[in-house]
């Protein structure tokens, strides 16, 4: 079929006429009023620049690690305690029921097409039912499925904040919060965690950071990188601060229920009566499938503080891409409901055992101060830098640890917390023991007792 067109007569600005095609594309026929020499002089030049958002995007972990000189000792096999991926060494496979759910979803041929950007309603209802409790009831409409917990955090920050506003994030804390916020022109104010109090929040410092431009408080529990788990009482204190200042909470709960025996996990939403909460989670850690990229946002708003606007905003933001993997969505109900309790318990048992081995071993090394974890997959270790004068920083310390002992721990400068390093405790147990032995050997080689105080020498 030929496209229709019409011709409009015009002689203004040297344009003879304009032909309007049926496809809506306009083409102008110009006179020869511009001389060839002028056209050559005005020839455009390539001037392609990266966007301001891309220039403002920085992942602190990559920025630090990529600049480190990591040359392992060729006489010792490398032990990487730096990556928060529980699948790296193969000692923590997911459950067979999880795999079977995926196979069934594929074999059904039902999940090969596009899904709604927020996820299939049946899958959202499965997540809602799994996490709903009398204190914090959920329905399918309260769940947004995302491409991993990282996208859940991205959507939550994006819907709550505008450029020029600020969010409150933990220090030390997961570097992604800062990466996402700064790229959007949002200021990040870091509130202190207290290692001497098992990484509880310094509530006075937190409250001192709040101003009229504060739009979101991020709470990560259980914590990456600290491995801490907050008590019910401490969570209620955090909620009280948020309530006083009418600030919504982004609860990063990707490690929900990954706590050691004797500790209990309490979701913030179950303790809140008025503070609206966007709780971010996913399959990655508890089900040991980070590469499957299945996350979610749980919208808790019993007092209707969010209203319809935040929900609509989340839907619109989710439409920028076509949502998470449909195969995983199809398997989600079976994954959540058919995974046996033994699988969760065995995972926690291994992590706790490694944590205990690591904490006990490093506690006896002069110059190191590990903080005992209660969950997640991590342990933070303080470095008494005055006893290691040959190193300028935690980055220098961990870099040399790789060079001499082939043990790679992540310097906590990556979490805005210098003079510490983070250990991932999901490696096979014999590797955990070996790594601790090498760290001991390294510290013994470089440790220097504190020199006597000059006043003592004068006496």
From the centroid of its chain, how far is CA 200? 19
3-class secondary-structure state, position 459:
coil
3-class secondary-structure state, position 163:
coil
Contact 189, 161 (CB under 8 A): no
Task: Provide mean pLDDT across the span 243-259.
Answer: 98
454 — pLDDT class (breaks 50, 70, 90)? very low
Q: Which tens digit of pLDDT belongs to each residue from 419-449?
A: 999 999 999 999 999 999 999 999 999 999 9
| pLDDT of 247 higher than 80 | yes
| pLDDT of 21 higher than 50 | no
Tell me what percent of the residues of the chain surpass a pLDDT of 70.
89
Q: Which tens digit of pLDDT belongs to each residue from 93-112?
A: 999 999 999 999 999 999 99
| pLDDT of 27 higher than 90 | no
Q: Which tens digit of pLDDT belongs to each residue from 77-92?
A: 999 999 999 999 999 9
Contact 139, 148 (CB under 8 A): no
42 — pLDDT class (breaks 50, 70, 90)? confident
Task: Provide mean pLDDT across the span 300-325.
Answer: 95
Nearest-CA neighbor of 298 among 277, 312, 324, 284?
A: 277
With vertex at residue 353, the alpha carbon angle to CA 352 and CA 356, rounded to the nearest 5 degrees, is: 85
Average pLDDT, the chain: 91
Contact 222, 265 (CB under 8 A): yes
> How far is the C-alpha of 307 from the C-alpha of 305, rounded, in Å?
5
Length of the chain: 459
63 — pLDDT class (breaks 50, 70, 90)? confident
Higher confidence at residue 147 or residue 12?
A: 147
| pLDDT of 451 higher than 60 | no
| pLDDT of 293 higher than 90 | yes
- Tell me which H or E stretch contains 331: helix 326-338
Q: CA dihedral defined by 205, 207, 210, 212, rounded to 10 degrees?
A: -150
Q: pTM for the complete prediction? A: 0.88
> How far is the C-alpha of 394 from the C-alpha of 419, rounded, in Å?
5
249 — pLDDT class (breaks 50, 70, 90)? very high
* pLDDT for the residue 118: 98
Tell me if the bond preceding 278 is cis, omega within 30° of 0: no
Nearest-CA neighbor of 254 among 333, 353, 149?
A: 149
| pLDDT of 200 higher than 70 | yes
């Amino acid at each position: 079929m030929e496209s229709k067109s019409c011709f409009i007569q015009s002689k203004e600005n040297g344009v003879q006429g304009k032909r309007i095609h049926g496809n809506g594309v306009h083409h102008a026929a110009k006179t020869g009023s511009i001389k060839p020499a002028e056209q050559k002089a005005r020839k455009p030049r390539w001037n392609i620049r990266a966007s301001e958002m891309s220039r403002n995007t920085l992942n602190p972990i990559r920025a630090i690690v990529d600049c480190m000189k990591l040359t392992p000792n060729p006489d010792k096999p490398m032990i990487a305690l730096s990556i928060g991926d529980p699948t790296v060494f193969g000692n923590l496979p997911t459950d067979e029921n999880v795999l079977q759910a995926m196979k069934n979803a594929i074999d059904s041929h039902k999940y090969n097409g596009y899904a709604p950007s927020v996820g299939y309603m049946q899958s959202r209802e499965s997540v809602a039912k799994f996490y709903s409790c009398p204190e914090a009831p959920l329905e399918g409409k309260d769940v947004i499925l995302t491409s991993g917990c990282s996208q859940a955090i991205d959507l939550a920050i994006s819907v709550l904040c505008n450029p020029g506003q600020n969010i409150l994030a933990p220090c030390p804390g997961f570097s992604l919060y800062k990466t996402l916020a700064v790229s959007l022109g949002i200021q990040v104010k870091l509130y202190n965690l207290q290692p001497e109090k098992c990484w509880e929040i310094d509530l006075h410092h937190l409250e001192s950071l709040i101003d009229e431009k504060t739009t979101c408080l991020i709470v990560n529990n259980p914590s990456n990188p600290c491995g801490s788990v907050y008590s019910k009482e401490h969570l209620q204190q955090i909620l009280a601060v948020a309530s006083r200042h009418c600030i919504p909470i982004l609860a990063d709960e990707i490690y929900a229920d990954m706590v050691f025996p004797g500790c209990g996990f309490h979701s913030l939403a179950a303790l809140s009566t008025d503070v609206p909460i966007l709780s971010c989670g996913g399959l990655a850690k508890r089900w040991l499938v980070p590469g499957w990229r299945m996350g979610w946002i749980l919208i808790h708003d019993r007092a209707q503080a969010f209203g319809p606007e935040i929900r609509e905003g989340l839907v619109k933001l989710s439409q920028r891409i076509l949502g998470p993997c449909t195969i995983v969505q199809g398997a989600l109900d079976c994954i959540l409901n058919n995974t046996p309790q033994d699988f969760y318990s065995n995972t926690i048992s291994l992590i706790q055992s490694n944590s205990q081995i690591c904490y006990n071993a490093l506690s006896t090394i002069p110059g190191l101060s590990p903080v005992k974890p209660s969950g997640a997959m991590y342990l933070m270790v303080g470095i008494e830098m005055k006893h290691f004068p040959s190193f300028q920083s935690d980055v220098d310390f961990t870099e040399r640890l790789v060079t001499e002992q082939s043990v790679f721990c992540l310097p906590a400068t990556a979490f805005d917390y210098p003079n510490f390093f983070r250990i991932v405790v999901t490696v096979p147990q014999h590797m955990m023991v070996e790594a601790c032995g090498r760290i001991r050997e390294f510290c013994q080689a470089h440790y220097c007792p504190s020199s006597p105080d000059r006043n003592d020498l004068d006496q």
